[in-house]
Amino acid sequence: MPRTASKTTRKRSKPYTVTSSDTDHVPSASSKTKKSSKENDEKYKLFNKYANTSSGVIDPEGIEKLCSKLKVSHTDIKILMLAWKMKSERQGYFTKAEWRRALKALKVDTTKKLKKALPELEKEVRKPLNFADFYAYAFRYCLTDERQNCIDIETICQLLDMVLGSTFRDQVDHFVDYLKIQNDYKVSTMDQWMGFYRFCNEISFPDMTNYSLELAWPLILDNFFEWMREKQA
């Protein structure tokens, strides 16, 4: 069979591409296993620094310690973002596996490095695709009971401030004001929580000219809208 004369200069894709080497954490083929276990050791060492020895997890006390080391307040959103990164399931507690997951993803193994990595983490989380996920996570994280599916209004107010305060200050302030004075709802559901996020993203504020009561906005937002309108009149 005659071969095609034309030889296209096609780059053969290399099976292994060397990305920009970060630090000495790129495992070389030979010492892969050894190095990873060594890394994990580092992470576990760090873990044990903060963990409660009897329960085997980092409890709220440990988190406080961590926070002071990281020089962030424990109500700082960055801690929540860290929890998100490690997919932590229980508020106030980090398990070993969760800890390892986060540190591995952030590629850090010391507290100092972790502190440095936090701003990067925040940037990553604030990317629109991630932020929606993070926002939903924030709600679930606050659920204390497995069977529970709503959060009391006061906690919601705090959470909103923490999570959306920097990006949607105006909306959050007004909405929190409203939540404090209204009586229809004593708790908030995930649907309402997500609804507010969509509200911030889609509705111009404070004029809210593109809001419509005819659409499927959660009722609490309809009431908020009417309350705002009354105030503006």
Partner 1 sequence: MYRATIIDFEQGCKCLEAGVSELKRILEEETSETRIDPKQYLELYTTIYNMCIQKHPHDHSQRLYNKYHDIVEHYAKKTVLPCVQQKHDEYLLRELSRRWDHYKVFVKWLSHFFNYLERFFIPQRNYPSLLEVAMKSFRNRVYLEVQVNAKDVVIALIDKEREGAQIDMELLKNVLDIFVQSGMGTIERYKEDFEMFLLEETESYYARKASRWIQECSCPEYMIKSEESLKKEKERVTHYLHSSTESKLVEIVQDILLVSVAKHLLEKEHSGCSALLRDDKTDDLSRMYRLYHPIPKGLEPVADAFRIYVAREGNALIKQAQDAAANGSLVEAQVLVGKIIDLHEKYMVYVMDCFKNHTLFHKALKEAFEVFCNKKVAGSSSAELVANFCDSLFKKSGNDKLSDEAMEATIDNVVKLLDYISDKDIFSEFYRKKLARRLLFDHHKVNKEHETSMITKLKRQQGGQYTSKMEGMVTDMQLAKEFQKGFKGSLTAKPGGIDLAVTVLNTGFWPSYKTSTDLNLPREMVECVEAFKSYYGTKTNQRKLRWLYSHGTCHVIGSFDPKPIELVLSTYQAVVLCLFNNTERLTYQEIIEQLNLSHEDLVRVLLSLSCAKYRILNKEPASKSISTTDVFEFNSKFTSTMRRIKVSIPPPPIDERKKVVEDVDQDRRYAIDACIVRIMKSRKVLPHQQLVSQCVEQLSRMFKPDIKMIKKRIEDLITRDYLKRDAKNHHIFNYVA
Query: Where along the sequence are the contacts to partner 1 (CB under 8 A)?
Result: 149-150, 189-192, 195, 198, 214-216, 218-219, 222
The residue (of 215 and 233) whose beta carbon lies closer to partner 1 is 215
Q: What is the 3-state secondary structure (H, E, C) of 2-43?
A: CCCCCCCCCCCCCCCCCCCCCCCCCCCCCCHHHHHHHHHHHH
The residue (of 24 and 214) whose beta carbon lies closer to partner 1 is 214
Contact, 35 vs 27, CB < 8 A? yes
- Give min distance, CB of 181 to partner 1, in A: 19
- Give min distance, CB of 27 to partner 1, in A: 38
The residue (of 171 and 188) whose beta carbon lies closer to partner 1 is 188
Angle between helices 128-142 and 190-202 (to 10 degrees): 150
| Count of other CB atoms within 10 angstroms of residue 59 | 17
The residue (of 22 and 184) whose beta carbon lies closer to partner 1 is 184
- Give min distance, CB of 213 to partner 1, in A: 9
The residue (of 142 and 162) whose beta carbon lies closer to partner 1 is 142
Angle between helices 96-106 and 32-50 (to 10 degrees): 120
- Give min distance, CB of 216 to partner 1, in A: 3
- Give min distance, CB of 202 to partner 1, in A: 9
- Give min distance, CB of 5 to partner 1, in A: 50
Greatest Cα-to-Cα distance within the chain, rounded to the nearest angstrom: 84
The residue (of 62 and 195) whose beta carbon lies closer to partner 1 is 195
Give which of 211, 199, 170, 205 is closest to 226, Cα–Cα.
Answer: 211
* Separation between Cα atoms, residue 233 and residue 230, nearest integer Å: 5
